Amino acid sequence: MNTDDSIIRMAVRFEGHVQGVGFRFTTVRLATGREVTGYVKNEFDGDVTLQAEGTREQLNALLIDIRQSAVGRYVTNEQVTWRPATGEFDTFGVKC
């Protein structure tokens, strides 16, 4: 059993037809109730980025939820990177 509850950061860039389909608001809804902080944001090139901090278990669960949600079908590629947490976020929401 893995008891690693250290906080880390997951950065994800979602590519595809991910803007204008409720992607950000679905992501916020899926993050609600999870112990994650950070944001989801539309990028000028049409991609959506996610910056989230939490345990690896919580972050992986959020990523799986996004993939399995109705908006997951619009993703054609995702780039996931892991980094040390900075602790800069208090909540999870949409960043403009």
H/E segment holding residue 30: helix 23-31
CATH 3.30.70.100 fits 7-86, yes or no: yes
Looking at residue 38, its pLDDT comes to: 98
pLDDT of residue 5: 84
Look at residue 13 and give its three-state secondary structure: strand
pTM of this structure: 0.92
pLDDT at residue 93, as a whole number: 98
Domain ranges of the chain: 7-86
65 phi, psi to nearest 5 deg? -60, -40
Does the structure show a pLDDT above 60 at 3?
no
Percent of the chain with pLDDT over 70: 96
Residues with a catalytic annotation lie at 24, 42
Q: What is the pLDDT of residues 26-64, one digit of tens each?
A: 999 999 989 999 999 999 999 999 999 999 999 999 999
